[in-house]
Amino acid sequence: MFQTLRLLALLGAAIAASIGAAEAPNIVLIYADDLGYGDVGCYGAKSIPTPNIDRLAAGGLRFTSGYCTSATCTPSRYSLLTGQYAWRTPGTGIAPPNGTALIKPGTPTLPQTLREAGYRTAVIGKWHLGLGAAPKPNWAGEIKPGPLEIGFDESFILPTTNDRVPCVYVRGHRIVGQDPDDPVDVFDTQPDDQPTGITQRDQLKMDWSHGHNETIVNGISRIGFMVGGVAARWIDETMAEIFVKEVDTFLDQGKAQPFFLFYSAHQTHVPRAPNAMFVGATPHGPRGDAIVELDWCVGKIVAQLEQRGMLENTLILFTSDNGPILDDGYRDQANELLGNHQPAGAFRGSKYSRFEAGTRVPWIVHWPAEVKAGVTDAMISQVDLFASFCALAGTNLAEGVATDSLDLSQALTGHRPAAREYVVEHSGLTAKLAVRRGDWKYIEPDDGPQVLTNTGAETANSFHPQLYNLSTDAGERKNVAGKHPQIVDQLANLLQQERRK
Ligand code: NG6
Ligand code: CA
């Protein structure tokens, strides 16, 4: 087995050598949560210090047209790992606390394909792609299928998001530190008379604004009800350190094989409860401070690679799963303390939106051995990472695998500027899509709400087709669909063709 892996790794190295790299690179995907285009210094933030992320950008390739596939988490992650748009598969919306595994074992995935090419693979951090099988995950026992069944050799995850139960870490198939006498279980409705965010609202560490008022863990009420596992429950303020330490342990296994590490950060998703080290680091309250904490994690990961002499031939991709949001369910003053900070930069919209801010995200590629520093406006989507990373690993995709994923390895590494001709954008809340081709952005009509009442998010829904010229109107304010009916038709047809694929 090891011989075969070794052979494949060598083969990968040989092919990678054809683009100039001496050996197949390690790949570290640092995936931020709800981080907007304008949230970090190298993309224009002035009042949130992000020196570590900025350093990656200064020494790497910064993309100004890098996209996630959807403006919410679960579908973006699904597309990234499968190379297929989540909107093709029903049920891939935001996974609930007891959501079962969305990527079925046997589905070709990015980690599985890299593993077959000789990579050691791991996921550390937020999962949010469902776990276990129907009717619900076996929280008290063996929780499978999960990451290990779809191509990861190792996993240390928070099962859903940090605002959802169960608030525990899962390593491999089991909850970490679970006392068999106090087993964890999770319910959609209240199973007992435990205090909740409603009954003990005045004692919470952070008040909720909408939803998020069920089981209380670490003084913060969450989505869903959990019982048991009291000793295993996480403390939000130490989550960053814990994840970063897991990275250290993973890297300790050395250089015998190239590796793929999916570091899936919890910042800056709600509840934003950064470590005391970061409280007050920005004038923006917990949301800004959580971004500084994320930056600290990036710095630690880079340092850990550097200490082991691994940085040179490691491709680090830093990006985000969807655009920014201010009030996503807790009263953490994200709106009140925003000041002049622009989480989405010049773009309109936010998380949940088909306007650019929903899916156009920070995207930095750092790989000293191969990638020259610079800035590019090449259009690329996270759905392309499957084919692109596999090409860099020197492995070919079989027919019918990752069919939405384009091999843009040459654009990703700055060797060739050409990338996607068009990029499909999805909000995650509607079946309707949007597309950007060149400077044109077309948004399909949809009769859903234009603004979400709880979050204030502008969805980009409208009864009318929308067309914007991003070269003169990056903020998508002036709908020119009436003036350019042919372009509207072309782009509407393009989306119909995409659907039929
Ligand atoms: C929404 C939650 C929001 C957030 C989101 C998922 C409510 C009212 N809102 O349903 O707080 O958790 O789901 O975010 O419950 S994501 O980034 O993981 O997609
Ligand atoms: Ca997210």
Please give all residues whose beta carbon lies within 6 A of any atom in ligand 1, as ranges.
33-34, 72-74, 94, 128, 161, 163, 210-211, 223, 269-270, 322, 328-329, 454
Q: Candidates 328, 331, 426: which one to mutate for ligand 1, based on the most atoms within 8 Å of Cβ?
A: 328
Identify residue 63 by its one-letter amino acid code: F
Give the residue, by CA position, lying nearest to ligand 1 atom 16. 73
At residue 129, does pLDDT exceed 50? yes
Looking at residue 387, what is its pLDDT? 98
SS3 state of residue 33: coil
Task: Dump pLDDT digits (tens) for 452-478.
Answer: 999 999 999 999 999 999 999 999 999
- In angstroms, what CA-CA distances link 495 with 37, 256, 427? 25, 45, 15
Instruction: Give the closest ligand to the alpha carbon of residue 68.
Output: 2
At residue 9, does pLDDT exceed 60? no
Helices (H), 252-374: 286-307, 356-359
Ligand 1 atom having least distance to the Cα of 128: 18
Q: Rounded to whole angstroms, how far apart are CA atoms 180 and 411?
A: 51
Give the residue, by CA position, lying nearest to ligand 1 atom 18. 73
Span from the CA of 326 to the centroid of ligand 2 (angstroms): 12
- The b/e string for 114-129 (b: 16+ C-beta within 10 A; e otherwise) is bbbbbbbbbbbbbbbb
Span from the CA of 224 to the centroid of ligand 1 (angstroms): 12
Contact, 389 vs 27, CB < 8 A? Answer: yes
Ligand 1 atom having least distance to the Cα of 126: 18
Span from the CA of 467 to the centroid of ligand 2 (angstroms): 26
Ligand 1 atom having least distance to the Cα of 351: 17
pLDDT band at 417 (very low <50, low <70, confident <90, very high): confident
Span from the CA of 119 to the centroid of ligand 1 (angstroms): 33
Looking at residue 23, what is its pLDDT? 85
Mean pLDDT of the 414-441 span: 95
Give the residue, by CA position, lying nearest to ligand 1 atom 3. 328
Ligand 1 atom having least distance to the Cα of 210: 8
SS3 state of residue 218: coil
Span from the CA of 214 to the centroid of ligand 1 (angstroms): 14
Looking at residue 22, what is its pLDDT? 54
Dihedral (CA of 130, 131, 135, 140) sign: negative
Q: Rounded to whole angstroms, how far apart are CA atoms 185 and 383?
A: 34
Instruction: Give the closest ligand to the alpha carbon of residue 320.
Output: 2
At residue 497, does pLDDT exceed 60? yes
DSSP characters over 437-468: ETTEEEE----S-SB-TTT--B----SS-EEE
- The b/e string for 177-202 (b: 16+ C-beta within 10 A; e otherwise) is ebeeeebbbbbeeeeeeeebbeeeee
Q: Candidates 163, 206, 220: which one to mutate for ligand 1, based on the most atoms within 8 Å of Cβ?
A: 163
Ligand 1 atom having least distance to the Cα of 163: 12
Give the residue, by CA position, lying nearest to ligand 1 atom 8. 211
Q: Candidates 31, 68, 72: which one to mutate for ligand 1, based on the most atoms within 8 Å of Cβ?
A: 72
Task: Dump pLDDT digits (tens) for 283-312.
Answer: 999 999 999 999 999 999 999 999 999 999
Question: β-strands 185-187, 225-227: how paired?
Answer: antiparallel
Return the bridge partners of 476, or none. Answer: none
Span from the CA of 496 to the centroid of ligand 1 (angstroms): 29
At residue 449, does pLDDT exceed 90? yes
On average, the pLDDT of the chain sits at: 95
Ligand 1 atom having least distance to the Cα of 74: 19
Ligand 1 atom having least distance to the Cα of 329: 11
At residue 372, does pLDDT exceed 70? yes
Span from the CA of 366 to the centroid of ligand 1 (angstroms): 30
Looking at residue 255, what is its pLDDT? 81
Span from the CA of 464 to the centroid of ligand 2 (angstroms): 28
Q: Rounded to whole angstroms, how far apart are CA atoms 475 and 348?
A: 5
Quote ipTM for the complex. Answer: 0.97
Q: Rounded to whole angstroms, how far apart are CA atoms 359 and 302?
A: 26
Task: Dump pLDDT digits (tens) for 169-219.
Answer: 999 999 999 999 999 999 999 999 999 999 999 999 999 999 999 999 999
Return the bridge partners of 206, or none. Answer: 220
Span from the CA of 370 to the centroid of ligand 2 (angstroms): 30
Whether the link from the prior residue into 100 is cis, omega within 30° of 0, is no
Give the residue, by CA position, lying nearest to ligand 1 atom 19. 73
Q: Rounded to whole angstroms, how far apart are CA atoms 27 and 316?
A: 6
Contact, 439 vs 312, CB < 8 A? Answer: no
Q: Rounded to whole angstroms, how far apart are CA atoms 481 and 479?
A: 6
Span from the CA of 347 to the centroid of ligand 1 (angstroms): 21
Ligand 1 atom having least distance to the Cα of 160: 18
List the end-to-end C-alpha distance of the chain, in Å, as a whole number. Answer: 37
Mean pLDDT of the 332-347 span: 98
At residue 3, does pLDDT exceed 90? no
